[in-house]
Every structure is written in structure tokens, then in C-alpha cells.
């Protein structure tokens, strides 16, 4: 098993049950766009868990954090200084990380137990964009209550339960745009997040006539969403298959009308063809770079 060095101490990593990573996902998911890069968020969690909370390094929560850091290419991390001068630093390793495999191979029982699934899903979610009328909109993660309310509104537009819910999501986005909503409108931001969760990559909306067409689906985003929603392993391939089928339908529709199809992929690509995972913000690895992290009050 690999070892991760936290604050100068080498810690052996042991495979963990999915519940440990589900706990971590709940802690990290909605912090992704709050400022600090993912390695800094994870390092602070590990540091505070082992110091302030006194958790042993064998605790499933600490193990889940360190596995995730390891899988995004980090070999060691540390906290330096105190108070306002506290800094988070980390170093990249030379070990194989999730860039070394196709993304679908991370979503297996083994991949979940070794943190590959969570690491890949977090980075895909952090880098999502939805193209609306040719304009890239960065998908921001919104307040849970807002998402819940907008999901209820979206469901009202799902006239036929047999239809894919992506159509209802696109219809709701079109409706908000026709009402004059822009990227500062929290309802639209939440609707865009819901559309991204359903795999929508690109759509065209005529706000005047409220007509729309979905032009592309993101297979990676659909897979990440399935993971965060707690789908069992045997359903991950179904998420990919659904996005591929919808992409095929969009392509056929585009060919019939003479339109050029949109790209169905969204994540930044690494040299191995999988998402580039470390640099959610800032330079990859942040080797020696100062990253102040102020603890959020709760």
C-alpha cells in the first residue's frame, strides 16, 4: 500500500469503505468554488482532524482525505505557521494517479476503496461548463436549499415521466432566459447546475420563442453525478451509456438540420487523456507556493 506524508509523518494508506468517502464528499463538494484549491481544502481537513479533533491516522475519515490527495498526484502536505500566517503547502509525487487511466476505470469497487472515484468526480465537477448559445458558463455549485427548490421547479416542467429529465432541465433554463435571467440570477445558476448534473454540455435557446435544442452531453459529468448521488457500481456504466445515447440523438438531429455538433466532453485533459486533476486553481502541485487558508466559522 502507498504512504502519504502529512506534516512530516508517513502514513500508510489502507482501502476504505465507500461510506468514508461519502462523508468526505459531503464536506468538500460545496466548498469547491469558495477560493482555496482542492489540495488546500483536503490538507486542512486532515490537519485539523489529526490535531484539533485528535483522530488517529487510521480513522476512515483521515484515510479518505489522504487517499484523495494521493490520487490527485500529491505525495505530501503540511501546515506551516499559526493564525493569520498559517500556510498550506504540498508536493506532487512521481506515483501514478488518476490521470493514468480512463475515467470509467476509476468507478469500480477497487477505485472507490482507493479514493480514485471520489478524486475523479471532484475534479470533473470543479471544471464543468455548460455552453448556452455558444457562451461557456462555468457551473458554480449552489446552496443545497436553492438547488432543492429549483429541482422542484424543474420537475414541474417534466410533462412526460418517460422523457429523459435533461429535457425538463433544458426547458427550465430556456424559461428563465426568456424571463431575462442572467448569470447573476441564482435561479439560473442553480438550473445550470442541475442541467450539468444531468450531463448537458451544450444547448441553444431562443429566448423570444422559448425554443431550445440540446446539442451535446458530457459523459464524465453524468458519471460524476451518478457517483455523488450514491449510485451502485453496476449503474456507472449505465450513466455513460445514457450520455452516449443522448449524444447520438443530438448528433443525428444536428446532421438532419445541417448544424455542426457540439463537443460532448468538458473536463480539461491531461496527457493520458483523463482530466487534469490537481490544478483546480493555481499551479499544479503548489510546490512551495503560499496558500493562506482561513478557517470557516461554523
**pLDDT, tens digit (0-9, with 9 covering 90-100), for 61-101:** 999 999 999 999 999 999 998 888 889 999 999 999 999 99
Instruction: Give the Cα separation of 198 and 96 in Å (integer).
Output: 30
Strand 87-92 with 135-138, pairing = unpaired
DSSP letters along 38-91, please?
HHHHHHHHHHHHHTTS---TTSHHHHHHHHHHHHTTEEEEEEESSGGG-EEEEE
Length of the chain: 298
Buried b (16+ CB within 10 A) or exposed e, 53-76: eebebebbbbbbbbbbbbbbbbbb
pLDDT digits (tens, 9 = 90+) for 120-129: 999 999 989 9
Average predicted confidence (pLDDT) for the chain: 84
| More confident of the two residues 255 and 242 | 242
In the predicted structure, residue 231 carries a pLDDT above the cut 60: yes
User: How many CB atoms lie under 10 A from the CB of residue 163?
Assistant: 10
Measured CA to CA, the distance from residue 77 to residue 287 in angstroms comes to 10
Residues 254 and 260 sit within 8 Å (Cβ to Cβ): yes
Output the pLDDT for position 210. 64
Query: Do 165 and 158 meet the contact criterion of CB atoms below 8 Å apart?
Result: yes
Dihedral of the alpha carbons of 277, 281, 287, 291, in degrees to the nearest 10: -140
The pair phi, psi for residue 33, each rounded to 5°, is -110, 20
pLDDT at 27: 93
285: left (phi over 0), alpha (psi -120 to 50) or beta: left
User: Hey, what long-range contacts does 79-83 have (CB within 8 A, 24 or more apart)?
Assistant: 79/7, 79/43, 79/44, 79/47
The pTM assigned to this predicted structure is: 0.81
* Mean local confidence (pLDDT), 130-156: 90
Q: How confident is the model at residue 291 (pLDDT cuts 50, 70, 90)?
A: very low
Rg (CA), the chain: 20
pLDDT given for residue 144 in this prediction: 84
Does residue 289 carry a pLDDT above 80?
A: no
- pLDDT (mean) for 18-35: 90
d(CA 130, CA 137): 5
Long-range contacts of 54-61 (CB under 8 A, 24+ apart): 57/6, 57/9, 57/11, 58/14, 60/16, 60/17, 60/19, 60/20, 60/23, 61/20, 61/23, 61/24
Amino acid at each position: 500500500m502507498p504512504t502519504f506524508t502529512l506534516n512530516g509523518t508517513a502514513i500508510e494508506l489502507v482501502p476504505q469503505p465507500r461510506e468514508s468517502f461519502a462523508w468526505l464528499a459531503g464536506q468538500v463538494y460545496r466548498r469547491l468554488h469558495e477560493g482555496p484549491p482542492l489540495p488546500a481544502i483536503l490538507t486542512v481537513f486532515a490537519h485539523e482532524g489529526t490535531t484539533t479533533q485528535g483522530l488517529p491516522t487510521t480513522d476512515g475519515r483521515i484515510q479518505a482525505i489522504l487517499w484523495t490527495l494521493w490520487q490527485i498526484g500529491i505525495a505530501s502536505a503540511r501546515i506551516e505557521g499559526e493564525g493569520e500566517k498559517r500556510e498550506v503547502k504540498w508536493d506532487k509525487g512521481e506515483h501514478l494517479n488518476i490521470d493514468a487511466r480512463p475515467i470509467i476505470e476509476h468507478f469500480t469497487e477497487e477505485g472507490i476503496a482507493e479514493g480514485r472515484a471520489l478524486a475523479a468526480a471532484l475534479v470533473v465537477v470543479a471544471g464543468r461548463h455548460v455552453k448556452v448559445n455558444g457562451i461557456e458558463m462555468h457551473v458554480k455549485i449552489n446552496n443545497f436549499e436553492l438547488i432543492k427548490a429549483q429541482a422542484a421547479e424543474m420537475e414541474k416542467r417534466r410533462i412526460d415521466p418517460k422523457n429523459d429529465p435533461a429535457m425538463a432541465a433544458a426547458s427550465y433554463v430556456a424559461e428563465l432566459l426568456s424571463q431575462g435571467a442572467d448569470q447573476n440570477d441564482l435561479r439560473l445558476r442553480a438550473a445550470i447546475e442541475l442541467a450539468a448534473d444531468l450531463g448537458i454540455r451544450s444547448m441553444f435557446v431562443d429566448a423570444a420563442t422559448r425554443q431550445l435544442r440540446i446539442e451535446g452531453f458530457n459523459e464524465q459529468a453524468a458519471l460524476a453525478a451518478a457517483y455523488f448521488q450514491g449510485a451502485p457500481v453496476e449503474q456507472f456504466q449505465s450513466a455513460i451509456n445514457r450520455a452516449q445515447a443522448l449524444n447520438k440523438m443530438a448528433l443525428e438531429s444536428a446532421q438532419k438540420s445541417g448544424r455542426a455538433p457540439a463537443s460532448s466532453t468538458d473536463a480539461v485533459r491531461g496527457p493520458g487523456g483523463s482530466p487534469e486533476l490537481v490544478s483546480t486553481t493555481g499551479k499544479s502541485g503548489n510546490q512551495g507556493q503560499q496558500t493562506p487558508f482561513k478557517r470557516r466559522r461554523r
